[in-house]
Amino acid sequence: MKKVLKPREREQLLGTTYAFPMGIWFTLFFTIPLSIIVLYSFLKRGLYGGVEWEFTLDAYRQMFNPSFAKVVIRTLWISIVATLGSILIAIPCGYAMAKSKYQTILLFLIIIPFWTNSLIRIYAWISILSTEGFINTLLIKMGILTEGVQLIYNNGAVVLVLIYMYLPFAILPLFTTIDKFDFALLDAARDLGATKLEAIVKVMFPNIKSGLSTAFIFTFIPIFGAYTVPLLVGGKDSTMIGNIIVDQVSKTRNWPLASAFSMVLTLISLVGVFWMLYNGKREQQQTKKTTQQSLELNIRRHHLRKVNSK
Amino acid sequence: MIKHQYNKKSKISFSSAMLYLTIIFLFVPLFVVVLFSFNDSKGMQWSHASLFWYKKLIFESPSLWSAFKNSLIIAFTSSITATFLGTLAAIGIKWYRFKGRNYITTISYLPMVLPEVIIGISMLIFFSAVRVRLGMFTIFAAHTTFNLPFVFMMVSARLDEFDYSTVEAARDLGANESQTLRKVIIPTIIPGVLSGFLMCITMSLEDFVITFFVSGPGSGTLPLYVYSMIRYGVSPVINALTFVMILGTMVIAFTFRRFLKTVAASS
Amino acid sequence: MKGVEIAVEQVSRAYGTFKALDDVSVTIHKGEFFSLLGPSGCGKTTLLRIIAGFDYPDTGTVEFDGKDILPLPPDKRQSNTVFQTYALFPHLTVYENVAFPLRLRRVEKEELDRKVREYIRLVQLEEHIDKKPSMLSGGQKQRVAIARALINEPSVLLLDEPLSALDAKLRQNLLIELDVIHDKVGITFIYVTHDQSEALSVSDRIAVMNKGKILQIGTPYEIYEAPATRFVAQFIGESNIFPCKVLACEPYGKEYMLTVDVPSLGGEVTVTDYDPSEIGAEVDFTVRPEKVRITPNPPKTTHTYMNSYKGVVDEPVYSGFQSKFYIRLDNEAKPIIKVFKQHTAFLDEGPEIEWRDTVYVSWTAADGYIVKETDR
């Protein structure tokens, strides 16, 4: 006779059957590799690549070596500038898209370039910015320049191309949240005496916080871990953490150091993701009532200030 | 009221001006590349229109096409594997409580949020630690890994719209577990599964960073080939390739959209 | 009589610390139309899902005709379910939805076609046979669900708030249809609902549930006229409920005549009850609003056991066929009494009663009742 399973045992069995193939795959090709990185970052470097089984914090100590520290700081500022640039462009874009009648077409227009291979998009910028590139050729032809100017292989080019690459990552989440925003609140704010800009900053921004944080994380994390863009359009002084990691693995063969840098990237990314999830959750918990209340409060405060200043 | 409308028509708002500029910004580089793919000479000096580089791309680039063949093999094998594993897992996670559920849920989102470099490096170090030779298999494994979260996410999203009572109804009406899966669950979530699959194909065809780390001799994919072209001697063949690839993705996307629409309409 | 007898014995089910079912026992007879009635979260759906096999008790047993069914998965039980959300298969037509159970059993083609059409006719959906569920209205969807659940010829049909997603008129019609179907197929129906009027109108018996417990099992008449607890009295229909103390209790025909002290009514009230009460017991006195008479003048009656009070109309609520009055009584506690007044033919109607009118409310001892379990 076939054994009859209790419902709870059945559930356990079924869940396991369905989910475990993926669980095993991830364990094998994600968890274990990532654990190896964690482990290697605490080991001594081998002479010809690889590691020796000896615990040490050398790798982390090396990170404070000035030449590396410079790269970390540069990575930070490039990432922040590029991310903020993307978001500043993305906010009005998301707003205009949310207000537009042609949302589907606009979405398509934003996404199509994004479907194109990333290397090809980088290549496009190389052919535009390089000394014999499109801009220089055009300017020379117009007689503005006599010989090509180096527009590429500098940090500016890196920031520009990074913004170009990750802009859709900022626009899409912002568009989704702004689209859900109740525009009547803006009218209400205007009605109560706020200027258009004040209404947007004081009423809309607090209500699209989750979109802003998602946009920030979606752009910041990949930019922070960028590898190809600084490699192809950056100059000597444009290396970022991603490039160090690759160099340490393939050229210098210092695996522990590469692992330590990977840990830094991983940790920063995880912190960012959890921050985003936390923000999203908190916004969900906020009821409509509190939004309404904070709106009223903001406007009342604003009025008081206006009255006082008179 | 009338004055207000007049105002609206008379000027384009700041935000929509930004939006149009952004769209132009997004398209200009691609447009320049496509334009010069029809240029007869090398470089950015326009001579006259010709299909020279397209001829070169199609008839004189055997290594590009073999890289493309590798790309296709990897894209299909890894997408099929990822779709299969991801779909089953999404079903299991959505509807059953079991030991290890939290672990699998968490781990299934991580590869999506970590920088590609990390995934690539960790796999490279892993493969060399366990002494697996880099080649088609390692690329396949890496691609399946970064594709899986997307299938899982898209199928889960589809399952969220799915009323669990229909599963209970099927069981109640006499279907056993596998009949329920085949006759009720799969037919209902198939649009999610297919869009997940298609997303995998595009991402797999497009990936460079991760592939860069785990590829071995003779297993180069198309993005790797493009990389070497950019790095070591740019040839306008890339321009021609760009246009072909843009057209390719558009065709896939539009046919798929239409296909999805018919599927959605029929269910 | 078709169907099975279902015996639920001491079933408990907890989700974490929340007790969904707390030691529930009930026997449902063969062929009965049995309702589980209660507010949301009372455990009625959990009990139904345990009977169907989608949930399982922590302790207790469930038997169909004396056979333990708990180890059986849903597909091996003699019950079929009609779901609140219809649970139609979105990718299949009406025909294929109804045919689903038969296809699973590989019923021969002609037999299958004959039966599917028969059941689609039973729920009057012949015109919609080739439509997909997305093209049907809510009522039509629920009919498909009913046909699909019945085609396997189950011994028990479990209905989980099947009408709650429909609008009021449609609900009435479908309810009557359900009753007709029940008479035709003759199997046991277990009907879960939070709507007392649904339960009262079609059930043979009702179990009223709250907080995981069954408070009362009885016919609709018993439940309405003799609620066992304060909760039942409040949940079924409307009630005026006042705490009181038993002062005297004497036999009165087959029943008992009680005198109780109701502080909020300002003194003694007479009321009949089926059972005797202890003198000094703290109980509740209740009278249904439709049993209270409202008159502009003091009621002319010689009835010994008449309770009559003077008050002012605090709020009249007109709703067409009847009016509801909130009367503030003229005593220290100033309690509010709800009164229903049916609007009848013009000549029988009597003088109009308006806001702020002084009125008299009255009822006989037989119209009030005592609730001993006060749930306090």
Arithmetic mean of pLDDT, A249-276 = 87
- Does C6-234 match C238-371 in CATH topology? no
pLDDT of residue A185 exceeding 60, the answer is: yes
Predicted confidence band at A115 (pLDDT cuts at 50, 70, 90)? confident
pLDDT of residue B9 exceeding 60, the answer is: no
The percent of residues above 70 in pLDDT, for chain B, comes to 91
Among A21, A100, A132, beta carbon nearest to B88: A21
Chain pair A-C, CB pairs under 8 angstroms: 10
Q: Determine the Cα–Cα distance for residues B38 and C181; give it in Å rounded to an integer.
A: 75
How far is residue B204 CA from its own chain's centroid?
6
Residues in chain B closer than 8 A to A123 (CB atoms): 33, 226, 230, 234, 238, 242
Q: Cβ of A278: how many Cβ atoms within 10 Å?
A: 11
pLDDT of residue A2 exceeding 50, the answer is: no
pLDDT of residue B109 exceeding 90, the answer is: no
Domain C6-234 maps to which CATH number in 3.30.230.10, 3.40.50.170, 3.50.50.60, 3.40.50.300? 3.40.50.300
pLDDT at A295: 47
pLDDT of residue A274 exceeding 50, the answer is: yes
| DSSP 8-class letter at C119 | H
Residues in chain C closer than 8 A to A3 (CB atoms): none
Closest CA to A215 of A288, A155, A280: A280
Nearest CA in chain B to C83: B165
pLDDT at B5: 44
Q: Which of residues 3-32 of A touch C (CB under 8 A)?
A: 4, 6-8, 10
Q: Determine the Cα–Cα distance for residues A260 and A245; give it in Å rounded to an integer.
A: 9
- Quote the minimal CA–CA distance from C151 to chain B in Å: 9
pLDDT at A287: 45
pLDDT of residue B129 exceeding 70, the answer is: yes
Q: Determine the Cα–Cα distance for residues C151 and C270; give it in Å rounded to an integer.
A: 55
Instruction: Look at C73 and B183 and tell me if their CB atoms are within 8 Å.
Output: no
Q: Does B97 touch chain A (CB under 8 A)?
A: yes
User: Which of B12, B34, B125 would you mutate first to test chain A, the one with the most A CBs within 10 A?
Assistant: B125
Q: Cβ of A103: how many Cβ atoms within 10 Å?
A: 13
Nearest CA in chain C to A8: C56
pLDDT at B188: 85
Homologous superfamily, domain A69-309 = MetI-like (1.10.3720.10)
Query: How confident is the model over B65-96, as pLDDT tens digits?
Result: 899 999 999 999 999 999 999 999 999 888 88
Q: Does A124 touch chain B (CB under 8 A)?
A: yes
- Quote the minimal CA–CA distance from B128 to chain A in Å: 9
The answer to whether the beta carbons of residues A283 and A211 sit under 8 Å apart is no
Residues in chain C closer than 8 A to B266 (CB atoms): 91, 132
Q: Cβ of C137: how many Cβ atoms within 10 Å?
A: 11
Q: Six-digit token pair at A93?
A: 């874009």
Q: Six-digit token pair at C117?
A: 């059409």
B74-91: b (≥16 Cβ within 10 Å) or e: bbbbbbebbbbbbbbbbb
Residues in chain C closer than 8 A to B168 (CB atoms): 52, 54, 74, 81, 83, 87
Arithmetic mean of pLDDT, A62-84 = 91
- Can you give the residue range of the structural domain that contains B190? 54-266
Measured between alpha carbons, how far is residue C255 from residues A107, C224, C274, C275 in Å?
78, 18, 5, 7
Q: Which of residues 159-198 of B touch A (CB under 8 A)?
A: 177
pLDDT of residue A5 exceeding 50, the answer is: yes
Nearest CA in chain A to C74: A7
Q: Six-digit token pair at A6?
A: 């209790």
Predicted confidence band at C156 (pLDDT cuts at 50, 70, 90)? very high
- Quote the minimal CA–CA distance from C65 to chain A in Å: 20
- ipTM of the assembly? 0.86
Arithmetic mean of pLDDT, B31-44 = 81
Which residue stretches of chain C are H helix?
Answer: 44-52, 94-104, 109-122, 138-150, 168-185, 196-202, 220-225, 230-235
Task: Report the amino acid identity of residue B239.
Answer: N
Query: How confident is the model over B148-178, as pLDDT tens digits?
Result: 998 998 898 888 887 888 888 998 998 988 8
User: Which of C46, C51, C56 would you mutate first to test chain A, the one with the most A CBs within 10 A?
Assistant: C56
Instruction: Look at B168 and C84 and tell me if their CB atoms are within 8 Å.
Output: no
Mean confidence (pLDDT) of chain C = 89
pLDDT of residue B3 exceeding 50, the answer is: no
Q: Which of A192-196, A292-296, C37-41 has the highest mean pLDDT?
A: C37-41
Mean confidence (pLDDT) of chain A = 83
Q: In terms of domains, do B59 and B159 share one? A: yes
pLDDT at B265: 56
- Quote the minimal CA–CA distance from C71 to chain A in Å: 6
pLDDT of residue C272 exceeding 80, the answer is: yes
Among B172, B173, B267, beta carbon nearest to C90: B267
Instruction: Look at A171 and B22 and tell me if their CB atoms are within 8 Å.
Output: yes
Q: In terms of domains, do B44 and B109 share one? A: no
pLDDT of residue B10 exceeding 50, the answer is: no
Measured between alpha carbons, how far is residue A124 from residues A90, A111, A224, B25, C338 in Å?
22, 17, 22, 12, 80
Sequence ranges of the domains in chain A: 69-309
- Quote the minimal CA–CA distance from B162 to chain C in Å: 10
Angle at CA of residue C358, ends C355 and C360, nearest 5°: 115
Q: Six-digit token pair at A81?
A: 């500038």
- Number of helices followed by number of strands (H, E) in chain B: 13, 0
Predicted confidence band at C210 (pLDDT cuts at 50, 70, 90)? very high
More confident residue, A151 or A162: A162
Q: Determine the Cα–Cα distance for residues C329 and A36; give it in Å rounded to an integer.
A: 81
Q: Six-digit token pair at B65?
A: 């096409």
CATH number at residue B68: 1.10.3720.10
| DSSP 8-class letter at A250 | H
Arithmetic mean of pLDDT, C102-116 = 92
Closest CA to A199 of A188, A210, A214: A188
The per-residue DSSP string of A206-245 comes to HHTHHHHHHHHHHHHHHHHT--HHHHHH--GGG--HHHHH
The CATH number of the domain covering residues in C238-371: 2.40.50.100
pLDDT of residue A221 exceeding 50, the answer is: yes
Q: In terms of domains, do B115 and B240 share one? A: yes
User: Which of B13, B14, B22, B260 would you mutate first to test chain A, the one with the most A CBs within 10 A?
Assistant: B22
pLDDT at A285: 62
Task: Report the amino acid identity of residue B118.
Answer: I
Residues in chain C closer than 8 A to B176 (CB atoms): 73, 75
| DSSP 8-class letter at C272 | E
Predicted confidence band at A76 (pLDDT cuts at 50, 70, 90)? very high
Residues in chain C closer than 8 A to A1 (CB atoms): none
Biggest CA–CA distance in chain B, Å, is 76
pLDDT at B6: 42
Domain count, chain B: 2
Mean confidence (pLDDT) of chain B = 85
Nearest CA in chain C to B264: C91
Arithmetic mean of pLDDT, C167-173 = 85
Instruction: Look at B173 and C134 and tell me if their CB atoms are within 8 Å.
Output: no
Instruction: Look at C152 and B173 and tell me if their CB atoms are within 8 Å.
Output: yes
Tell me which chains share at least 3 CB pairs under 8 Å with chain C: A, B
Tell me which chains share at least 3 CB pairs under 8 Å with chain A: B, C
Residues in chain B closer than 8 A to A102 (CB atoms): none
pLDDT at B45: 72
Q: Determine the Cα–Cα distance for residues A6 and C359; give it in Å rounded to an integer.
A: 64
Q: Does A117 touch chain B (CB under 8 A)?
A: yes
pLDDT at A228: 92
pLDDT at A252: 82
Closest CA to A4 of C77, C273, C236, B173: C77
Q: Cβ of C28: how many Cβ atoms within 10 Å?
A: 25
Among B19, B117, B242, beta carbon nearest to A246: B117
Instruction: Look at A121 and B32 and tell me if their CB atoms are within 8 Å.
Output: no
The percent of residues above 70 in pLDDT, for chain C, comes to 98
Q: Last residue of a domain, which of B53, B80, B95? A: B53
Q: Does A97 touch chain B (CB under 8 A)?
A: yes
pLDDT of residue A300 exceeding 60, the answer is: no
Predicted confidence band at B4 (pLDDT cuts at 50, 70, 90)? very low
Closest CA to B53 of B32, B38, B34: B38
Of A142-151, B170-179, C25-34, C261-270, the range with the lowest mean pLDDT is A142-151
The answer to whether the beta carbons of residues B86 and B148 sit under 8 Å apart is yes
Instruction: Look at C104 and B173 and tell me if their CB atoms are within 8 Å.
Output: yes
Query: How confident is the model over C313-359, as pLDDT tens digits?
Result: 998 888 888 889 999 998 888 888 899 988 887 776 677 888 888 99
| H/E run at residue C375 | none
Nearest CA in chain C to A3: C71
**Judging by beta carbons within 10 Å of its beta carbon (0-12, 13-18, 19+), is residue C47 exposed, middle or buried?**
buried
Q: In terms of domains, do B126 and B236 share one? A: yes
Residues in chain B closer than 8 A to A246 (CB atoms): 117, 121, 213
The percent of residues above 90 in pLDDT, for chain C, comes to 50
Biggest CA–CA distance in chain A, Å, is 93
Q: Does B187 touch chain C (CB under 8 A)?
A: yes
The percent of residues above 90 in pLDDT, for chain A, comes to 28
Chain pair B-C, CB pairs under 8 angstroms: 74
SS3 C314: strand
